[in-house]
Amino acid sequence: MNEAPLAAPSLGDRSLFPSLTARAYLAHAAISPPSLLVERAVTQAFGAYAARGALAFGATVEQRGRLRASLAALLGADVAGVGLVPNTSAGVTDVALCLPWREGDRVLLFEGEFPANVTAWQRAAELFALELLWLPADLFRTDPTRAFEALAHTLSKGVRLVALSQVQFQTGFRMPLREIAARAHAQGAEVFVDAIQGLGAVPLDVALDGVDYLTSGSHKWLMGTEGCGVLYVRPELAPALRPHVAGWLSHEDAFRFLVEGPGHLRYDRPVRKRADLVEGGTPNTLGCYALEASVGVLLSLGVDRIYAHANGYLDALEAGLVARGFESLRAKRPEGRSCILGVRPPAGGRHSAPTLQRALGERGVVTSVPDGVLRFAPHWPNDPREVPDVLSVVDAVLAT
């Protein structure tokens, strides 16, 4: 089928999202709508299975190779460090189960984090007799001097791993990852990052930022679909992982017995000593096609430019909301910012964050409201010229 060529993606241009009904879609920190490029990639992959069944599978193996390479480019990583996972939780669990723990190892977690970056460490603590230590994530936003003092004190106890989010999901605060990683490494700790609230729209480079392990689902800032994500493991660290999550596809030459005749069915092939050891069974092929298409767009636009674009939008929106009595949780210093603006409703007003979110949504301004914070999250297709319209909808809602 010949399809009409699509317009090239361009910052502030929503034409690749013709089905989107919202007048302003500001919930990319929850779930991103797919662009026509993503829709087409998925439809074509589905069509190939419809037409050719098992014969379509070979192309998907190559596609996953291309996808890992694009994700590596996005992360500033070596492709050997990239594996594919179903979601963020799976990526955290993979590392939590496979790290070569010793009894009594300490893991530093942050209060206020999204639970995906806590639950798996709690399970690992039970299984491997680890000790969990905690620091308040928000202290890095409100009082960085005290936060770094507390970090130094905790690291001095001897910590095996620090597990943090690149961006806090409710305040949108971008954690001082590079500084935390440098201090962690200086004390012999490794660094694990849940990057789902930044990757794709907030600059990150695993080498420069000192990231040892990272994971992210793709339905938020990566603008893919649910059920597909990325795991990064620094290649030098992968050989030490214990392959507790390995499946039949985690072995070297795992496919051989299916294509090369008799005599190749064996159970002793080595498990890959790379991040993709976690790819143990049949993958989410359609999600992989979606993610390849969306990451292609992000790389072509450039994450630095997307970040600057979204922050231009948020500068105007934040000023308008603060003028209306909202409390902004956005960092004062640019290095603490992401593409999320979290606000609390005007003090003493009649509206809670959830009621505001619902009322805004009914009027076509789509936001989200995690942990009681009203969250505005624009991405590359949002046009800053939407902001006056968003503010007029806010006025209409406040007046009700």
Ligand X SMILES: Cc1ncc(COP(=O)(O)O)c(C=O)c1O
- Interface residues with ligand X (CB under 6 A) are 87-89, 114, 116-117, 165, 169, 194, 196-197, 217
CB of 102 to ligand X, least distance (A): 27
Segment (H or E) for 288: helix 285-301
Rank residues 11 and 199 by Cβ distance to ligand X and give the closer one: 199
**Three-state DSSP class for 148?**
helix
Angle between helices 387-398 and 303-323 (to 10 degrees): 30
Largest CA distance in the chain: 75
* CA–CA gap between residue 171 and residue 169 (Å, rounded): 6
Rank residues 175 and 391 by Cβ distance to ligand X and give the closer one: 175
CB of 218 to ligand X, least distance (A): 9
CB of 257 to ligand X, least distance (A): 33
CB of 88 to ligand X, least distance (A): 3
Residues 6+ apart with CB under 8 A from 56: 45, 48, 49
Q: Which of 332, 333, 329, 334 is nearest to 377 (CA)?
A: 329
Rank residues 81 and 229 by Cβ distance to ligand X and give the closer one: 229
Residue 293 falls in which region: left (phi positive, over 0), alpha (psi -120 to 50) or beta: alpha
Rank residues 32 and 154 by Cβ distance to ligand X and give the closer one: 32
CB of 82 to ligand X, least distance (A): 17
Rank residues 32 and 60 by Cβ distance to ligand X and give the closer one: 32
Contact 162, 214 (CB under 8 A): no
CB of 117 to ligand X, least distance (A): 6
For residue 50, count other CB atoms closer than 10 A to its CB.
Answer: 10
Phi, psi of 231, deg, nearest 5: -125, 130
Contact 134, 109 (CB under 8 A): yes
Rank residues 105 and 194 by Cβ distance to ligand X and give the closer one: 194
Rank residues 225 and 393 by Cβ distance to ligand X and give the closer one: 225
Angle between helices 57-75 and 285-301 (to 10 degrees): 40
CB of 376 to ligand X, least distance (A): 15
